Amino acid sequence: MEQEANKKRKIIHIDMDAFYASVEQRDHPEYRGKPVIVGGSPNSRGVVATASYEARKFGVRSAMSSRRAVQLCPDGIFVYPRFDVYKDVSRHIREIFSRYTDLIEPLSLDEAYLDVSVDKQGIGSAIEIARLIKQAIKDELRLTASAGVSINKFVAKIASDMNKPDGLTFIGPSQITGFMEQLPVEKFHGVGKVTAEKMKKMGLHTGADLKRLSENEIKQYFGKPGAFYYRIVRGIDEREVQPHRETKSAGAEDTFPVDLTEIETLNKELERIGALVATRLKRHNLKGRTITLKIKYSDFKQITRNQSLPFATDDLEVIVKTAQQLLAAVDHEEKAIRLLGISLSNFGEVIAIHGNSTQLSLFD
């Protein structure tokens, strides 16, 4: 029986709808139906953590600067995040998951993969389990979640995003091939903005276009991630749901052929290294809250600086900008730099942030 179940896995991806903003609307009835923007205040250097669906209509998005958000949505209600509350809700959601399986892989406070190939209650149907989980979240927490159900993580994750909010989308084994073929490349999680642009310039717009490339070609064009794209576009994703993720940090670094001193050159290098990091994060489906910059000088002395954000990110621009700010804040004592590295950590848990006004105060 169990062997049979393992052969075709049943994977659910659950994602809370506009999580922080929905919690705020739940707890503040006067915010309901209004554009709520959780994050830094509009006259700070802060960013948007989550926007309610009403605010999204104005184009407000996560990771956007709060200044930009207030331009787009002048009547937006800016709310400073209450992480303790979100964390409690997150614990409760995980407790609901654990009624059905212990194979739970949290990706952030509001998102997780569940493997319900074998479920604790012997329900057998992943769709039914997803429905029960959504109902429990509604009844016990007065919040909505969207669920994607399929036989692997990749398709389950895309499915959960298809009918938001309050969606439940099932993509069965017989539908996967067709589904992947019609999928626009920018919808492939793991394919970042830059790569998606590159693909389009090459005339690769959908899964079907990617499928026409041989394994060698795809690796040649897109490097190592190409091997992942090659399999994923054929619906093959054997990554397991990992209840105890071992990954503590993900990053990249580079030693330069010659030591560097020019800030413009160093910033360019950070763009390049940041792109590697973002690709890695996306490939492993990780988002981190803490960005660490490592600097090694020509005298081999090494320092690190880090900054924690109010939200988890895998966004290239956020990663690079943060690393560049960290670099700019260091007094290099006129020494040349031989190595730069960027890494992200703090994947699962929210950490405290200190006030919404200055990012500089977060430098250690």
Binding residues: 15, 110
CA separation for the pair 6, 18 (Å, rounded) = 33
The helix/strand/coil state of 36 is strand
Binding of Mg ion by 314 (CB under 5 A) = no
In the complex with Mg ion, which residue's Cβ is closer, 25 or 324? Answer: 25
Q: Which residue, among 256, 252, 195, has the nearest Cα to 226 in the 3D structure?
A: 195
The answer to whether the CB of 305 falls within 8 A of the CB of 323 is: no
Please work out the total of residues on this chain that contact Mg ion, with binding judged by CB under 5 A.
4
In the complex with Mg ion, which residue's Cβ is closer, 15 or 237? Answer: 15
In the complex with Mg ion, which residue's Cβ is closer, 51 or 277? Answer: 51
- Active-site residue identified among 24, 54, 105, 111: 111
SS (H, E, C) 221-275: HHCCHHHHHHHHCCCCCCCCCCCCCCCCEEEEEEEEEEEECCHHHHHHHHHHHHH
CB of 295 to Mg ion, least distance (A): 34
In the complex with Mg ion, which residue's Cβ is closer, 110 or 119? Answer: 110
Binding annotation for Mg(2+): 15, 110
What are the DSSP calls for 270-301, one per residue?
A: HHHHHHHHHHHHHHTT--EEEEEEEEEETT--
The interface mask with Mg ion, positions 97-126, x = CB under 5 A, is -------------x----------------
Alpha-carbon distances, residue 136 vs 85, 95, 118, 141 (angstroms):
18, 11, 20, 8
- Partnered with residue 291 across adjacent β-strands are 307, 344
Dihedral (C-alpha) 237, 93, 139, 149: value to the nearest 10 degrees?
0
Binding of Mg ion by 15 (CB under 5 A) = yes
The region of 15-23, 129-137, 192-200, 298-306 touching Mg ion under the rule CB under 5 A is 15-23
CB of 51 to Mg ion, least distance (A): 11
The region of 14-22, 132-140, 240-248, 281-289 touching Mg ion under the rule CB under 5 A is 14-22
Residue 111 a catalytic site member: yes
CB of 36 to Mg ion, least distance (A): 15
CB of 188 to Mg ion, least distance (A): 18
In the complex with Mg ion, which residue's Cβ is closer, 108 or 346? Answer: 108
Binding of Mg ion by 16 (CB under 5 A) = yes
CA separation for the pair 197, 62 (Å, rounded) = 21
CA separation for the pair 193, 63 (Å, rounded) = 15
CB of 90 to Mg ion, least distance (A): 11
State residue 324 phi and psi, 5-degree precision: -65, -40
Which residues make up the interface to Mg ion (CB under 5 A)? 15-16, 19, 110
Catalytic site positions: 111
